[in-house]
Amino acid sequence: MRRRIIAGNWKMHNNLSESQNLVTKLVNELNNQNINREVIICPPFTSLTEVSNLLDGTKIELGAQNMHFEDKGAFTGEISADMLKSVGCKYVILGHSERRTIFGESDEIINKKIKQALNAGLIPIFCMGETLEQREDGITNDVINNQVSEGIKELSEEDVNKIIIAYEPIWAIGTGKTATPEQAQEVHKFIRSLLRENFSENTSQNIPILYGGSVKPNNAEDILAKEDIDGALVGGACLDTDSFVSIIKA
Ligand code: PEP
């Protein structure tokens, strides 16, 4: 059975004390509850150490929102995989549409980052998704095909099996518009078919594929019920503990 995962992307929200409050509330809420999903939170860099300490002894795991593809060096303002590991990160979000569109990250850069994360022992949460224009032009599958093949280019099947994929249609991120469960399922199924073609049936059945894009307590259950949707990458709604917990329990 595939892993079921709910991941929260805090984006550029929460200073240190706000992070402490949010994570403390979350830990208290989930404490002693029988949750059958893995929970990952991805705070900003400045809160990682403190959040890592607060998560110690809990089942909630820690991820970062980005990293550089080099080991170290003259890259002012960047963070390395080793630095993330040293503060307790197990996961790193890579290829998020905000990194692609606002910061100009290409498929080539994302591929380098995925390789570097895997080499360092971090698990990439590899994001992909189409714009509204691409969907309306009927080229969603072409876009996804390209993002998948470029993102995992030259990776061994063993390494591919370590990653988590997140399908996040750009038009649904932070907009309040969600893909219908059927639209999301269709793309998830397509991603699985690409993994089957490029690797094997086992690999296509093994890799968790999360949906992201305005997942909220009122739509999570229908989305998560779909066969090929193994969890959610949650932005806005993970900043409110009640909403995030209700998605985790959906
Ligand atoms: C995201 O940033 O990954 C995301 C899905 O955001 P939101 O839930 O706010 O759409």
Atom of ligand 1 nearest to the CA of 127: 3
Atom of ligand 1 nearest to the CA of 237: 8
Rounded average pLDDT over 58-86: 98
- Residue 213: what residue type? G
Residue 228 pLDDT > 90, yes or no? yes
Round the average pLDDT of the chain to a whole number and report it.
Answer: 97
Residue 34 pLDDT > 90, yes or no? no
Query: Which residue lies with its CA nearest to atom 3 of ligand 1?
Result: 235
Strands (E), the chain: 5-9, 38-42, 61-64, 91-94, 123-128, 164-167, 209-212, 231-234
**Residue 33: its pLDDT value, please?**
85
Options 96, 98, 130, 188, the catalytic residue: 96
- Residue 81: what residue type? A
Ligand 1 centroid to residue 2 C-alpha, Å: 23
Cα distances from 138 to residues 42, 118, 141, 144, in angstroms, run 33, 33, 8, 12
**Residue 170: its pLDDT value, please?**
95
**Residue 82: its pLDDT value, please?**
98
Ligand 1 pocket: which of 6, 102, 211, 233 to mutate (most atoms <8 Å of CB)?
233
**Residue 53: its pLDDT value, please?**
98
**Residue 174: its pLDDT value, please?**
83
Ligand 1 centroid to residue 150 C-alpha, Å: 23
Residue 88 is classified by DSSP as T
Among this protein's residues, is 227 annotated catalytic? Answer: no
Among this protein's residues, is 168 annotated catalytic? Answer: yes
**Residue 209: its pLDDT value, please?**
98
CB within 6 Å of ligand 1 — which residues?
A: 9, 168, 173-174, 212-215, 233-237
Residue 9 pLDDT > 90, yes or no? yes
Contact call for residues 56 and 24 (beta carbons, < 8 A)? no
pLDDT, tens digit (0-9, with 9 covering 90-100), for 38-68: 999 999 999 999 999 999 999 999 999 999 9
Cα–Cα distance, 78 to 81 (Å, whole number): 10
Ligand 1 centroid to residue 236 C-alpha, Å: 6
- Residue 106, classed as helix, strand or coil, is coil
Residue 75 pLDDT > 90, yes or no? yes
| Residue 107 zone, left/alpha/beta (φ > 0; ψ -120 to 50; rest) | alpha
CB neighbours of 56 closer than 8 A, spacing ≥ 6?
none
Residue 120 pLDDT > 90, yes or no? yes
Six-digit token string for 209: 């594929």
Instruction: Give the model's confidence band at 119: pLDDT under 50 very low, under 70 low, under 90 confident, else very high.
Output: very high
**Residue 12: its pLDDT value, please?**
98
Six-digit token string for 154: 């030259």
Going from the N-terminus, what domains does the chain have, and what CATH number goes with each?
5-248 (3.20.20.70)
pLDDT, tens digit (0-9, with 9 covering 90-100), for 137-186: 999 999 999 999 999 999 999 999 999 999 999 999 888 888 999 999 99
Residue 1 pLDDT > 90, yes or no? no
**Residue 176: its pLDDT value, please?**
82
User: Does the reported pTM lie above 0.95?
Assistant: yes
Options 38, 61, 105, 168, the catalytic residue: 168
